[in-house]
Structure 1
Amino acid sequence: MRLYFIRHGESEANRLQVISNRGDRYSLTAKGQQQARTLAENLKPFPLSTIFTSPLRRAIETAEILSDELGEPYQITDALREYDCGILEGKSDQESWRLHREIAQDWVVQQNWQRKLDGGESFLEIKNRFVPFIERLTEAEFRSDNHILLVGHGGIFQLMLPLLLTNIDRHFVTEHGICHTDCIITEPQPDGFRCLQWGEIRLV
């Protein structure tokens, strides 16, 4: 079994620098569509079996392209949705982005896990929908040869993957980030998941 964590392609929200973590307002740009097609071509040599995706439009459109190109169906799960920023939804001004960064820093540096914006999610609430999904998937598939794609978002992956991966920490994530359609390849070990590849960086 292997899990492939994939960030969606570039979206109109990314291009406009709008905080958009709900609904289906913003689709992929032409560049984002091409990124997804290129990723699909790169994934064709792998024995992929299933695709799961966030319910946000940019992720679903990425999953649709991967599904069409790879011939595998996709399923939508809320576990992979980008974290809700509450009152910052739809905003693009500098102060909103500053507060967005402040909240994330408060989580990962100060470990203030329960802080959240009005109408948004706390770190613990994000963890409580993401981690159990991965645990259930691992329990069901651990001894299988299935390679599973998980299409999601940069924010949630940067927060959650250091909790899962034994050879990746927050410093590594901060230093390298996650670009659009980066693929993070992992496999389960007795003590947790090991990251084999982070985007273009091979770790084994």
Structure 2
Amino acid sequence: MPPYIFFARHGETEADRLCYLQSQTIDEPLNKTGRTQAKKLGKRLKDQNIGLMVVSPTKRTLETANLIMDIIAPPHVADVINPDFLEINCGSLDGLFYAIIEKTLSDLFNAWWGTSAPFAKRRLSFPDGESFKQIVNRGKSAAKYLLSEISTRNQNILVIGHGNMNAVIAATLLGLDTNEFFAAIYFQNCGLIKIDRNFNGLPRLIIS
């Protein structure tokens, strides 16, 4: 069986619970629920032959990764902190409640989170943050790194990242239109998917 690439989102933070935006500037630690979620995810992954853990360099992802590592804990698991896996940079919107963004920046809100998604994202640019084109390019870089790593391994890779960026990278690996994939998948906190890179010669998404 070929190695899989697992993608997991970090555990819950107060920003998630209270519904305000956290991307790169705002970086909350896990709350009690988030720590419980991470431990449960670790138990799910304990027997999944994880050989490499790739982690976004934020408090919430690193804490999630550490809690998982405490449970799976084999000495052969390497961990790599890679900034390509950071959440999408939402710039000056970081820290704002979603309700405020919807009220004051309705066009941007609808393009990203509303009914006009997914195709409006092609023109999207966050104020003082990333454009969608930059996001997709970063996703391609992250996907290239994962493909390079998995080509030399017979163990699975686990990515501990963020809901939006995980979707970008997974779409790239699957050869899907990134805009469409955004509309099709949503990562709950500590939500998990895995990708089989070679199912009858084609990549396949497996919902765990």
TM-score by structure 1 length? 0.83
Q: Which residue of 2 aligns with 1:202?
A: none
- AA aligned to 1:134 is A
Name the % identity: 24
Q: Which residue of 1 aligns with 2:89?
A: 84
Greater alpha carbon shift after TM alignment, 153-162 vs 46-55: 153-162
* Contact 1:164–1:192, Cα closer than 8 Å, also in 2: no
- Residues 80 and 3 of structure 1, relative CA distance in 2, 3 Å threshold: same
- AA aligned to 1:104 is W
1:127-172: CA deviation from partner (whole Å, max 9, x where unpaired): 2222222213213422531201001111222344233225898667
Alignment partner of 1:51: what SS?
Answer: strand
Report the Cα offset of residue 118 of structure 1: 1.8
Residue in structure 2 matching 1:109, options 119, 141, 152: 119
Residue in structure 2 matching 1:184, options 165, 168, 193: 193
* Contact 1:9–1:32, Cα closer than 8 Å, also in 2: yes
1:84-109: CA deviation from partner (whole Å, max 9, x where unpaired): 11120111151314555334267731
Q: Which residue of 2 aligns with 1:152?
A: 161
TM-score by structure 2 length? 0.81
Whole-Å Cα distance in 2 between the matches of residues 100 and 55 of structure 1?
A: 27
* Contact 2:5–2:156, Cα closer than 8 Å, also in 1: yes
Q: CA RMSD in A?
A: 2.7
In the TM superposition, 1:132-171 aligns within 5 A as 132-142=141-151, 144-165=153-174
- AA aligned to 1:84 is N
**Structure 2, unpaired ranges of 5+:** none
**Structure 1, unpaired ranges of 5+:** 200-204
Whole-Å Cα distance in 1 between the matches of residues 122 and 190 of structure 2?
A: 30
Q: Which consecutive segments of 4 or more residues in structure 1 shift more than 4 A?
A: 97-100, 166-173
* Contact 1:107–1:123, Cα closer than 8 Å, also in 2: no
